[in-house]
């Protein structure tokens, strides 16, 4: 029994630190108060970490084995991913999806303006207003916010762990929806602010919805 235990310990010691290859670099978001959403309600969040970029197709396939993406590219964001699969990916890496509040605080980058860079749209910071046929773009190509996060505005909407509990008008049952944030490459400038949000069915797999992980 002792011999078997020693073998297991030695085996675990020899395993690489990251079984799944390169993971997205993470940024530390410090604890503190911030004003959430359009209501400007003041809330407090503990410190947390969040990926600096959206999870790429290459990173996703290294962990999950495969992916059926609409616009293919190793360094493009992984999309056509349901909320459940996104959550599973993060869990396999010892992470989780960020809450809506965490995502918004990280996206704002310590600013109070409409966009994390200022009051007006600026293509130097975000992919937006494009045609469907052009698709999304490789991650990390635009300028980051003050936390070092890329593409929190535009490129693809991003899943959060936050449920959007609404009742069906027909059955009266609670709908299985989750909040996505940040806008996408094919939406207008007014939908890529740090508080832009939508409610999406958790089982949906959409061409313009991706994710990043937190912990």
pLDDT in tens, the chain (215 residues): 444 444 433 333 344 445 556 677 999 999 999 888 877 789 999 999 999 999 999 999 999 998 999 999 999 999 999 999 999 999 999 999 999 999 999 999 988 899 999 999 999 999 999 877 889 999 999 999 999 999 999 999 999 999 987 655 555 667 899 999 999 999 999 999 999 999 999 999 999 999 999 99
pLDDT for 40 equals 78
pLDDT for 150 equals 98
pLDDT for 134 equals 84
Question: Token pair of 62, please?
Answer: 């290294």
SS3 of residue 102 by DSSP? helix
pLDDT for 133 equals 81
Q: Which domains, and CATH codes, for the chain?
A: 24-210 (3.90.1580.10)
SS3 of residue 197 by DSSP? strand
Distances 129 to 83, 115, 134, 152, 184 between C-alpha atoms, Å? 25, 15, 11, 15, 8
In the block, which residue shows the tokens 């966009």? 115
pLDDT for 23 equals 73
Residue 173: Cβ-neighbour burial (10 angstroms; 0-12, 13-18, 19+): exposed
What's the predicted TM-score (pTM) here? 0.87
Cβ of 161: how many Cβ atoms within 10 Å? 18
């Amino acid at each position: 029994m002792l011999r078997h235990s020693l073998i297991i310990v030695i085996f675990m010691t020899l395993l690489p630190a990251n079984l799944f290859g390169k993971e997205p670099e993470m940024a530390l978001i410090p604890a503190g108060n911030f004003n959430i959403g359009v209501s400007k309600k003041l809330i407090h969040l503990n410190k947390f970490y969040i990926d600096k970029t959206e999870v790429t197709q290459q990173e996703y396939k290294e962990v999950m084995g495969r992916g059926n993406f609409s616009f293919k590219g190793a360094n493009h964001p992984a999309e056509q991913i349901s909320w459940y699969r996104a959550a599973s990916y993060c869990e396999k890496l010892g992470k989780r999806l960020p809450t809506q509040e965490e995502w918004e605080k990280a996206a704002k980058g310590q600013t109070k303006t409409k966009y994390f860079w200022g009051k007006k749209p600026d293509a130097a910071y975000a992919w937006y207003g494009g045609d469907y046929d052009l698709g999304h773009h490789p991650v990390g190509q635009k300028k980051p916010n003050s936390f070092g996060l890329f593409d929190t505005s535009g490129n693809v909407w991003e899943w959060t762990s936050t449920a959007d509990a609404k009742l069906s008008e027909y059955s009266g049952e609670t709908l299985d929806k989750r909040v996505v944030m940040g806008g996408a490459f094919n939406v207008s400038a007014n939908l890529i602010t740090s508080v832009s949000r939508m409610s999406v069915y958790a089982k949906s797999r959409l061409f313009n919805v991706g994710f990043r992980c937190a912990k």
